Every structure is written in structure tokens, then in C-alpha cells.
Structure 1
């Protein structure tokens, strides 16, 4: 496992496999405070007000650890850390954990050398970067981090995995997006072609049957046809009822004229009783408006719904 020190001025590095990153004090703000609370959860709620006067304007995340009678409080800008990781050229998928230098180096007895001009030192328990001239001797930082176990805990960066995409991941997402775009394009143009065909068929049908062009006209035509169908149904029912009236050779209809609302009947009845029965049944399906009798022939005019 490779462990690298990450600071604000990070430069490109070449590493193989997974890496742990130690955050330089230049990438976070640290305070040790005795707060009027007992739990880390309560202390974290107070952290923004503790750092409000010392951190530059920006969006910060906060981390709190319980230490002795007080708390260690950290404030860090996730975007700044992400930018620093990007400059190293390390693939996000290869970063295993990130740690604060404060948790890993608070007990330093010998400063750690960070290149030719800087050292990492613990001053009264607070880890800080100093010019190299302040230390007569120093241990190589890379050697220290490789030989000492991490004390943790890790730094939580919620934006890290969702914001950073390495080239391989980005290429995969681009390919997937391209496939979806292609499929959508094919589906879109297929649907357009099918719609054009349906509209063409609709126009042919309208021309063949001389159908109205507007929905208002079509609705009017449908209503008229429905009314016509209803009248024809009623007419057939009336005719069926008339034909069901009693008749024989001496008592029968001679003439029947059936309109949409009116009917006219000439019937021969040698038996007056049968004539009365005929009129009674006719009144059950129509309203008699005129009645005449000449000899054995009965002339009736009637209306019906």
C-alpha cells in the first residue's frame, strides 16, 4: 500500500495500485476546544460557529473527534481537496482512504521532511507545516508514512466519488450515453415515420368517405347519425307492433302508411268487436288523431314517438 502526502500545491505523481492520502494542514483548518457539550454529535453542531471567524468564504464540511476533556475540530473544503487529487493524476478509483495529518502525526518527536524547503512538525500537539530551516534534523515523510500504521479515522468526502471520474470511467459513461442517444434517435425517427403513414391513411379515408375535416364537424355528423339510428329503431319497433295486431281474411289491413312520426291506416273489419280490439291495441303504441268509418272500412290517423 502506497501512502502519499497531499498538499495544496500537489504535483503529478506516478504510483501503481491503491493509495492512502495524508492531508496537509494547508487543506484543512484545525482547532482544539473545550466545548459545553458531552458528545461528538453535539460538538459537530457547534463546529461551524467555531470556524466562522477563521475560514475563508466557502462551503465546508466538519469532522469532530473526542480528545481527553475537549474536542478536535476540523473544517475542510471538499472541492479544494478534489482539485488537489486531480492535480496528482491519481485515479479516484485508486484512492483507498484519506486521513488528516493531525491524526497521523500529532505525536511526532522528529519533524518530517517534505521536499527541500518544508517540514511537517507537531508543535504543542498541533501538526503544522514549517520552513525547513526550523529543524536541524528531520525524517523523510514518505518513509514515516510507509512504516507507521494509520491512526485515523478517515476523512469523509461525500462529493469525492460522485464528482471525480477517471478517464476510463468517463469513456464508459460516454459510450453508454452514446448508445442511449442512438437508440432514442432510431425510436424517434421510426415513430415520426409511423405517424406520417397514419396521417396519410387518415387523409385517404377522409377523402374516400368525404368525412369532415374538423372535430366539431365530425361530432355534429356523429350526433346526427345517432339520432337517425334512434328514429329508425323506433320506426321498426312501431311497425313490428302494428304487424302483430290481430287480422284474418275478413278483418285485415288494406293500407298502412308509416312515417317518422305519423301513421295512416285503412283496415276492414266486418266484426265490430274486432275493430274495437284493434283500436285498443293501436292506442297502446300510438295516439289516434283521426278516426272515420265507411262501411266495413276503418280509417285511422295517429302519431307516435
Structure 2
């Protein structure tokens, strides 16, 4: 019986140059991506992706970035930002053809069991926060060369697919946008149908009551119910606005790091690092009805009420 042949695994840095014609998998050096851990009050990776452009805005230059998410626990996500065009440029510089590339992985995930290693005369280590970085000088002695580590390495399931031809739109991206658009259209149509149906039922009920009790023609009951329904829609809009105001704080204080955002149905609970308690109070008091604020070391905790 023939066994499936594993692709050769290469570790790509900005100094890499290879001589191979084989089909390959690539592990990216941390030079090619930004990685951060966030607590995001959503259920899955797809929902978390929506927030990443905003959450990375304080560290990323103004450019076109792609994002990737790994869920670690209930609201805890490991998040990546990378430039498709930059990675393609250095794949080409490394003497690799696009047709040779199978899948691409992040070294942050693949080499997490290795404390330190060397590649192309440069050393890479994991910090105390378990984030892989390239060091400007040698820190660990007698570190293994990456080539020996990759010989027996088993790749994870956390891979990305690059868009190799910028003139063509990725068909998966089109399908994703189309799917999201269709869902939004159907939700709006369903909501519109339900509202109109409820209004029709109320109008019929109003007419029935008028006929049953011989009441004069009046719209008091209908108007009261409509006002209640409009208020429920306003609450939904206010909630979306409140979430936007919270994540926009990093635009006001670019050094601030949102460590926790939770909502219990009435109150938002926030933990923010690397910010001023005066600046936080001044900003959130403009957007929320009431705030409670406390500070412990470098961590500011807030409770915000928007209603």
C-alpha cells in the first residue's frame, strides 16, 4: 500500500533562499504577521473576525491586511493580521514558485513547543507571554537549527490560503460576501414581514373591538403599541452604537489595550490596560449614561450603562 508523501516544510524569513522544485508547505516567520490575544464577547471565529480591523488599528500601518482567528476558549481568541502582497513578494525572493506552495502556516502556532531556535543566522524565541519573536541578538545558547526541527514536524490544521493573483478575486471571498449579504437581506425581509404582520393583526383586533363594543373610531391603542415596537428597535440600534463607541476608544488612545469586553444585558464590563483613567472617564462619560470606574496597577475596570 502506498503512503501519502508529506510535502517538504520550509521556514520562510525575509532572508530565505531555497533551491527546491518540490511541493512545499511554508511556516511563516513572525516577521510576516502581527499576533495578539483578545477577549471578544462573541461565540465563534467568524463573528470575531468582524472586530479585528478595529482591534489591530492601534498597531497596524494604513494598508490592506488579511486576518485569521484561532479560538482558544469561550471568548478568548488568538488573532493574526498579515499582508498577502508582502508574503508573496518574499516567497518570490526565496526562489519559490507559486505553484509549489501547498499551504501556509504561522510559526506562532506550529513551533510553540520549541522554546528557541535559529534560522538563517537569526534567533527566534517565545516570550513569557508565549509570543514568538525574532531577537536582535543571540539570547539562548546552543539553540537548534530550524531545519532539524522541521524534519519530523507535524503541521496543525491552522493554515491560510494566499491570493496568488491580485488581478483575480478569490472565489471563496466572493462566496463569503455573497452569503453574508443574503443572510442580511433575508433577516431584514423576515423582520419587515413580522412587523407588518403584527401591525395587520393589531389593526384587525382594533376593528374587532370597535365593532364588538360599538366604540368610536380612534387610533389610541394602535399608536401605543406602535410606539412600544419602535422603542424596541431603538434599543437594538443603541446597543450597536454602544459597542462601536467602546471599540472606537482605541482610536482616541492608540496605546490602550482592551483586555475584556462583556455585556450582561444591562451593563458593559471593560478592562483596559495602558491608558489614563482621566482620559477613559472623559471619553466614556460622553457616550454612556453612567459609568463606574476603578483602577488596579495598570488595569482600569469600567462598568458602563447606555440606557
In the superposition, the TM-score normalised over structure 2's length comes to 0.49
Higher relative contact order, structure no. (Cα contacts within 8 Å, ≥ 6 residues apart) = 2
Structure showing greater radius of gyration is: 1
In the superposition, the TM-score normalised over structure 1's length comes to 0.50
